[in-house]
Amino acid sequence: MSQVDPRRLIPRTDELLALPATRAAVERVGVRVVRDLIRQTQDRARRGELAPDQVEPVVLDQLNAHRPTTLRPVLNATGVVIHTNLGRAPLSPAATEALLSAAGYVDVELDLATGSRSRRGVAARQALLSACPTAADALIVNNGAAALVLATTALAAGREVVISRGELIEIGAGFRLPDLIASTGARLREVGTTNRTHLRDYLDAIGPDTGCILKVHPSNFRVTGFTSGVSIGELRSAISEIPLVADLGSGLLTPDPALPDEPDATTALTEGADLVVASGDKLFGGPQAGLLLGAADLTGRLSKHPLARAVRVDKLTLAAIEATLSGGPTPVSRALHADPDRLQSRAERLAATVGGTVVPHDGRVGGGGAPGVPLPGWAVQLPEAAAEPLRTGEPAVLPRVHGGVCLVDLRCIPESDDVRLMVAVEHALAAIEGPESG
């Protein structure tokens, strides 16, 4: 009697697609993804890697584990609050909830009372103005670089942008400010030197071809020693007729005692800036966005420029910005102002469980904010070899590797995730101890 080919016992695709769990997965990740997973599992069974009766449970396990995006959540154990490689600012619970609310149809550009079209993002704009009342108006675009490009294009295309040579910076991923401004059709009029610029340098450069004066916060570096610069207040006192644009970068709206040298929008506008440019996903603590705050005539001019449509922000960002401002403290704010004693207590609890050593560790602002400013705290020191299994484990944990050791800093990790972090560390240590013990 001939034996039945075991491959005939492999469940058919239509049978697997008919399972309730599979139908639910189709709604979540799409039929193409589900069919691909089924086919791959069936192929494994045809090659003899799986028994036919294992196909169904393996398919269901894979569907349960499948994520709708390849982006993986990461526990940030570096101590760097605004970590560009991790997406900069994590959103607050309020902003996260707002994203879900705005995912469907929303009244982003509609007055429901009248049924007529309304100004886009009115609530987010009003929230910004409430948080920074020195600004007469506000405009939101899709990132900080776009905000600067829009400002210089609208104010100085075909004309000159006067800027100190010491402020011709390079931002992330190799983008240089001179190249960015040149792309707008404006001409740079450099004044002063790398280390010293005086008021007379600006006065000598001002002429009928001047479109605006640009002050740029150096952000991720400091020049010390024989230096001098010109403040916004000094420029405004001497030059009243030329638009003065201040690119602050980090997105701080009001002064923060923990970052005494970090410029903020309120102070810059009070000192005389006509327009402030900042990022939404840095110290502001929200989604990626470009924030423009200042004089109503300038923001109105920018909003009417054709380029404004190309850099327009979407409904999700508008919702997240409004919620960032109206909700509770952001994760960025909590991490910046974390109590060192509480951080030490959490680190000691983790170390006692996993067998690590607690060491002093200064966190950093990151994202170009407050360069050189330490954030006193603590970290759990582990063997350097633990870094890789921490990064590739579940959950993924990004530690700091420095001086031949792996450092796990809890500053940027919500306390509610301490147990998940502990389990991840235990698994990572077991992974590197296993081969050694064998």
Give the pTM: 0.88
How much is the mean pLDDT over the chain? 93
Domain termination residue (choose one: 300, 328, 356):
328
| pLDDT (0 to 100) of residue 41 | 94
Domain termination residue (choose one: 306, 328, 350):
328
Is residue 1 assigned to a domain?
no
Q: Note whether 162 and 216 are same-domain residues.
A: yes
Tens of pLDDT, residue by residue over 180-224, are: 888 899 999 999 998 899 999 999 999 999 999 999 988 666 777
Measured torsion, CA atoms of residues 127, 329, 144, 124, in degrees rounded to the nearest 10: -20
Structure tokens at 159: 């004309």
Please check whether residue 259 is in contact with residue 369, taking contact to mean a CB–CB distance below 8 angstroms. Answer: yes
Does the pLDDT of residue 347 top 90, yes or no? Answer: yes
Tens of pLDDT, residue by residue over 95-152, are: 999 999 999 999 999 999 999 999 999 999 999 999 999 999 999 999 999 999 999 9
Q: Note whether 322 and 369 are same-domain residues.
A: no
pLDDT band for position 251 (50/70/90)?
Answer: confident
| pLDDT (0 to 100) of residue 438 | 43
Buried-state track 152-190, b at ≥16 Cβ within 10 A, e below 16:
bbbbbeebbbbbbebbbbebeeeeebeebbeebebbbbb
If one compares 55 and 250, the residue with the highest pLDDT of the two is 55
| pLDDT (0 to 100) of residue 437 | 47
Please check whether residue 395 is in contact with residue 75, taking contact to mean a CB–CB distance below 8 angstroms. Answer: yes
If one compares 188 and 226, the residue with the highest pLDDT of the two is 188
Residue with structure tokens 């707008």?
184
Instruction: Output DSSP code: residue 89.
Output: S
Rounded to 5 degrees, what are φ and ψ at 210?
-75, 120
Average pLDDT over residues 144-161: 95
Average pLDDT over residues 34-58: 93
* CATH number for position 201: 3.40.640.10
| pLDDT (0 to 100) of residue 68 | 80
Q: Note whether 188 and 292 are same-domain residues.
A: yes
Q: Note whether 48 and 79 are same-domain residues.
A: no
Is residue 180 assigned to a domain?
yes
Q: What span, in angstroms and rounded, lies between the C-alpha atoms of 180 and 290? A: 15
Is residue 179 assigned to a domain?
yes
Q: What span, in angstroms and rounded, lies between the C-alpha atoms of 361 and 279? A: 28
Q: Note whether 172 and 317 are same-domain residues.
A: yes
Q: Note whether 216 and 264 are same-domain residues.
A: yes
Does the pLDDT of residue 423 top 80, yes or no? Answer: yes
Q: Note whether 305 and 187 are same-domain residues.
A: yes
Q: What span, in angstroms and rounded, lies between the C-alpha atoms of 163 and 221? A: 18
Structure tokens at 408: 């796990």
- Considering its fold, how many domains does the chain have in total? 3
Is residue 239 assigned to a domain?
yes
| pLDDT (0 to 100) of residue 221 | 67
- The CB-side HSE value for 438 (13 A sphere, CA atoms) comes to 6
| pLDDT (0 to 100) of residue 2 | 56
Average pLDDT over residues 388-404: 96
| pLDDT (0 to 100) of residue 320 | 98
Q: Note whether 136 and 78 are same-domain residues.
A: no
If one compares 174 and 371, the residue with the highest pLDDT of the two is 371
Q: What span, in angstroms and rounded, lies between the C-alpha atoms of 252 and 277? A: 11
Best CA proximity match to 128, nearest among 4, 260, 276: 276
SS3 content of the chain, % helix, strand, coil (to 5): 45, 20, 35
Q: What percent of the chain has pLDDT over 70?
A: 96
Residue with structure tokens 């983008």?
175
Classify strands 244-249 and 137-141 as parallel, antiparallel or unpaired.
unpaired
Is residue 97 assigned to a domain?
yes
pLDDT band for position 60 (50/70/90)?
Answer: very high
| pLDDT (0 to 100) of residue 173 | 64
Rounded to 5 degrees, what are φ and ψ at 356?
-90, -175
Q: Note whether 304 and 341 are same-domain residues.
A: no
Lowest mean pLDDT among 25-34, 232-241, 299-308, 350-359: 25-34
DSSP H or E stretch at residue 80: strand 80-82
Looking at residue 46, its amino acid is R
Q: Note whether 190 and 262 are same-domain residues.
A: yes
Q: What span, in angstroms and rounded, lies between the C-alpha atoms of 241 and 202? A: 13
pLDDT band for position 1 (50/70/90)?
Answer: very low
Domain termination residue (choose one: 328, 346, 363):
328
Is residue 205 assigned to a domain?
yes
Does the pLDDT of residue 375 top 80, yes or no? Answer: yes
DSSP H or E stretch at residue 399: strand 396-402
Q: Note whether 360 and 307 are same-domain residues.
A: no
Best CA proximity match to 364, nearest among 352, 356, 376: 376
Q: Note whether 179 and 277 are same-domain residues.
A: yes
* CATH number for position 428: 3.90.1150.110
Average pLDDT over residues 321-325: 98
| pLDDT (0 to 100) of residue 382 | 98
Query: Within 272-363, where are the H helices?
Result: 296-303, 306-310, 315-326, 331-336, 340-354
Is residue 235 assigned to a domain?
yes
Domain holding 44, by residue range, is 6-65
Q: What span, in angstroms and rounded, lies between the C-alpha atoms of 73 and 394? A: 9
Measure Cα distances from 104 to 26, 92, 98, 319, 324 in Å.
Answer: 20, 20, 11, 12, 20
Q: What span, in angstroms and rounded, lies between the C-alpha atoms of 138 and 273? A: 14
